[in-house]
Every structure is written in structure tokens, then in C-alpha cells.
Amino acid sequence: MKLLIVESPGKIKKLQSILPAEWRVAASVGHIRDLPQEGYGLEPPDFRPVYQITPEKKDVVARLRTLAAEADDVYLASDPDREGEAIAWHLKDVLGLSACKRVTYTAITKDDVEAGIAAPRDIDMALVHAQEARRALDRLVGYKVSGPLSRACSESRLSAGRVQSPAVRIVVDREQEIRSFVSTTHYGVELTFDRVENVSEGWNAVWLPREGWLDEDNPYVLDKAVADRVAAVRSLDVLAFEEKEAATAPPAPFTTSSLQQAAGNALKFTPKKTMELAQKLYEAGHITYMRTDSPNLSETAIAEIRAYADARGLPLPPAPRTWKSKDGAQEAHEAIRPTHIDVEEAGENADEQALYALIRLRALASQLADAVFAVRVARLGADVDGRQAIFEARGRTLVHPGWKQVMAADAADDEDAEPSNSVPLLKEGATAVVQQGTVSTKKTKPKPRYKQTTLIREMERRGIGRPATYAAILDNIIVQKGYLREEKGWLVPTPRGEAIVAAMQPVFSFMNLDFTKRLEDALDDVAGGKTSYADCVGLAYDTLMAELATFREKTAVPCPACGNRDTFYHNVNPERGWNNWKCKECNASFEDDGGRPGSRKEKKEIPLSEFDCLACGSAKLRRITGTKNGAAYDFFKCSDDNCGATFNAVDGRPVPREEPTLSEFACKQCGKPLAVKPTRKGGIYFSCTGYPKCRQRYWAKDDNSPDYDNPPK
């Protein structure tokens, strides 16, 4: 048996139908392990990642181990990008594959899959290290900054992100621009012409006040009386006339980013929905891989499209088209296109079919001839108050539709269409007779708020993040975190979003919009083998730690009892009526006084019970009752802190607790046996039985032994 391991279970059926009977296809269902869910799993100076199999993937890993043991050859066919390369490496390591074959393909078709399997290679560790560096940097920012940020904003569960936080800042900055914008009322003039020496009628010209009437200090016509006098002219001289042809090239095939923008504009899909639909189309073999920065098609695809267009009489340019990629683009894969251009409809439902049609027509149009327009531009002038007022009439007519035969430009493109204005054939020196002059009242407007599609465009322009992550980022900051909200399709920052930007922007360099692009370039250098993982992460870590110290100094409030800044926090929960200050280090608690710690709250003294301690016998027990997180608790604790023994309460009497399950391992700090304890996520950890004198704990490694090198903080 030959085993092919892919990421998504959705690919299995299609691949199994392509491969011979001796092949078995299985899925890892994405990543099988990650950094630990408790603790951040990275320690300087080398920042070696500590990985754990995620609890929900233990059954998947067990099944893959069985299949791999039965297979003669194992092929790792995770997606052809950095994440996919990292998944392949994790699979090789966890499954203990001494020999495996890494294969990639960008379309799930018979030809592409067979070509990929026929050309196996080793795992590209430079790509793996680049993915590890990205994951490490995201983890460091999230784990190191989120806690101090929450304390600074007096709100729990706030989070900082290397990419998500600058994305929120873009929207916050635009909102602040809108609030501070002061509108200016000004005037414009448009003339409608009845005839030109009895030749034509019904065309328009607009006044150009910047030519001779305004300057940089006064860019608008503020006096309506001046506009009225200009609109009163009834005869103008033709100063210049130009007639020419203008060609418009088709838009490039879709990249990940442009697909999200076009689908949002044309189909009203969110970026998240667009990527989910594209994933389905890819898994079904209808389109090529949908995560790509490249706007260019493969030579094979271009030849197929040109042959298809030629057979149907569609206009073709003399040579195939190529496009210049944006700076920093990762061009490992071609642009998104249908796997077979002659398949006009594909997809399991209406939404998939609509997205497929958008992708197909864009790819087809990209290789067709230019659209050609006949353009006429006239300049006209008249004397007003002893000064010449210049007007311009501009219009164009489609002569050869070219690529527009199959599609119109979608709103993702910045095509400034000429107005439909039937400007007649004019001669210099001729006279144009005005039928009507109209004064328009205008008001300057601020730049509009962002939509999801325009925010994606801005993030891509600034090099913030990668297009493949945009959908997840927007879903996180809008839906999951609530830093932004949508109002009739426009993105508006919430008070929470504005608060985190105000707190972080003055201190952290990752909030600078050009910083993220430089960091993405550094990750590219790791992928290209130009720099090491440790150097990339180490440099960012040093910067972050210095900035974090500054942030804590500016925002953290020291505990009035012990002076610790890192463990003292504002404990606010309106739902439960909490509003106080607490210290995790010394357990002191203080009233809130206008957002600052006030008077100390004295702990309620728990009286001694009638029972002696069952452990030391020399002290009385205290009975402790209450509720926590909605659950009641009732137990006894020794009043001697040096003992600290606890006992269950049964019928109001102390009863020894069950002995912990002891492991074969000893505490590295004090040498006492380690007890096995369950985690909240379904795993285990080790706790020293020397508690309370020794409070050491250890995470469990994949083989269920204590990880002595990376204890939790």
C-alpha cells in the first residue's frame, strides 16, 4: 500500500478517484500539533519551539500511525505553502517517518497530482523555519502583551496581535480623521451645449477653476456670486481639440487578495466566506490553489486559454500577457484559475457556482485583447470679469470591446471610467453656444470608512500580513474580539478597539504600519535561507521586551502592599458586580477609587473549627466554604501555614482526600515524587507532592514524561 496524507478530508474522495487502487488517502485535518495551550512554549536565547499534539488530534495521529506502519511508501501532500510545509514536517516527526516523500501540486486534477507524485522532494526546512518564526512571533506578541494590555485598559481578555492590532489601528486612524474633518462648502459650474455651429447638441463641459482662478492656499471657489457669473456665459471659443484612441488592458487573474475584494464587491461575500467557497472548489478539482500572491498564469494554462478563445472567435493579443507582482509577493504558485477553461459551470451550490464563474471569466479575460475607446477632449474658454475661464469636455465611446466581451471590470479594480459624453467633432477657433449653465453646490467629504474589501486592499498595499490570513484576521477582530463592528457594510471601531490602539500605539513598534512589512520581509529571508530562525525571532524578542518594560512602567499600577506591577490588576466584571483591585503575588485586595486602588479590603477571618489537623495534629482546622465560577466548595484547611494540609468536608467533618496518582518521576527542584494531574483541556501535567513548600509543576511531553526544560511560568 502507498499512503498519501493531505490536510483536508474534503480532498480524499477526489484524490482516491484519481489514484490507483493500491493507494490510500488520509487527512491530518490541518496541524496535528502546536505550541502548548498553557504557557507559550518558547524560551530565549534559541526560542526552540516546544510542540504538543493538540488534544483533539490524538485520535487522528493514532490512526495515521497505524496507516503509516502498514504502508510501503508514505507521501506527504499537505498544501503547497509555508503552513503546508510545516504540517508535512510535523507529520514526519510525530509519525516517526525515517523516509517519506514530500509532494506538491496546485490543482487536484489527474495530470497535476500524477506530476506531483512523480517528482517527490525532501521537506524544505527553510520554509518550515519561516512558518515557525511567524508562529513564534505571533505567540510572543499575544502572550507577552495581552496581559499587560488588559490591565492597562482595565478589561479582561483583551488581546494584542502582530497583524491584527495594526489592522485595527488602520480603521481607528480613519475614524479619527473623519471625526476631525471640517467640511468646506464650495461651488462648481457645468455648461450644457445646444449646438456647435449647428452640428451637435446635448454635450457638457466643466469649469476648471484651478487654471487661473485658484491657488494652493485657496483650492476651492467659495464665492457663489463668482460661480454664477461664470455659469452665465453663453458663448465659448474652442481653444484645443484632441481625438485619439485609448486602449484598456484586462485585469490580471485573481490572487488571494484580489479574489476576496472582487467577490466582496460583485457577490457581497465576506472574505471568510469567499475562502471557504474557494477551498471547496479547490478540493473538488475545479480551481487551482487559492492561496497565492502571483498574478501570472502558467505557460500551460495560457496556451489552453488562448486555444479556447481562438476557437470561439474571441480577440487575442499578439503575445501572452504577464503582470508585475507587488513587492514582497510570494510567487510559488500561479494565479487562481479554473483547472479546465472549457468547463463553464462548476460547484455544488449557487454560491460556489457564482464564485467559480467570477474566477473563470477573470482568467479568460486576462488573456484577451485590449478594449479600445475613441476619446475626444476639448478645451474651451470664455472671458469672465476680465479673466479667462477654462472649460473641459471629455468623453469616450467603446470601439472594440476586446476583453469586455466576456466581463466588465469589477469594483476591485481602480479603473476610472470616462464619462459617457457625446463630444462632437470640433475645430480650434470655432464657437460653442451654451444652452444652459448650472452652478453646483459641493461639500468636501472625508475619506470614507473602510469596508472589509477596502481594508484588505489597504493591508496588502502596506504589506501588513499575508493575503492568505486576511479572512481569519478580519473574522477575529470583528466577530471574535469585537474591536470593530459593521454598520451598513462599513467598518467602525468599537470603544474597546479604540482603547487598545490608544494604549499600544505610543509604545509598541509592531503598531507602526511599516514595521509589519519589514518583519514580513525578515520572514521571507528565513524562507530563503538568508537568515536563521533564532536570529529573526531573537531580534524581534529583544525589541518587544524593551518596549514591554516601557509599557508596564507607563501603564501598570504597583500593588500598594508588595509593589509588584506584573501581578496587580483591576478586577472588573460588570455582570458579576466586580470592581476592585487584586494582587496575585500577595493576595491583597483593594477597593476601586475612580479607576485607581483605594482602601485595602481586609480579609474575613475564618474562625477555627473544633477539629485538629489530621496531618500535623498540632493545629486546628478552618472550614472554608463558598462558590467559585458558579460551583460550591466546602473543605477544611490547616491553620498552620507551614502545614497547609487540606481535607474534604463530609457531613461537616474533615475526611482525608484521595491520595494523588504518583508517577515514576521526581521533582527536579526538590526531589520529591511527582503526582499526575489532569488539565482543563483533557491532557495531563505533573505537580510536586512537596506542596506547599515546593510548588513546582511540569508540562507533559508527547510521551507523557515531564518536560523539565520548559516548566510553566
**Active-site option among 289, 356, 470, 483:** 289
Instruction: Residue 367: name the closest of 289, 312, 315, 294 by CA.
Output: 315
State whether residue 220 is helix, strand or coil: coil
Are 162 and 519 in contact by the 8 Å Cβ rule? The answer is yes
**Strands 2-6 and 371-384, how do they pair?**
unpaired
State whether residue 696 is helix, strand or coil: coil
State whether residue 368 is helix, strand or coil: coil
One-letter amino acid at 459 equals: M
DSSP bridge pairs for 187: 441
State whether residue 584 is helix, strand or coil: coil
Instruction: Residue 537: name the closest of 145, 40, 142, 48 by CA.
Output: 48
CA atoms of 79 and 27, how far apart (whole Å): 11
- What Rg do the C-alpha atoms of the chain give, in angstroms? 34
CA atoms of 548 and 75, how far apart (whole Å): 44
DSSP string across 474-539: HHIIIIIS-SEEEETTEEEE-HHHHHHHHHHTTT-GGGSHHHHHHHHHHHHHHHTTSS-HHHHHHH
| 4-38 CB burial, b ≥16 within 10 A, e <16 | bbbbbeebbebbeebbeeebbbbbbebbbbbbbee
| 192-222 CB burial, b ≥16 within 10 A, e <16 | ebeebeeebeebbbbbbbeeebeeeeeeebe
Known catalytic residue at 470? no
N-term to C-term CA, the chain:
46
Active site residues: 289
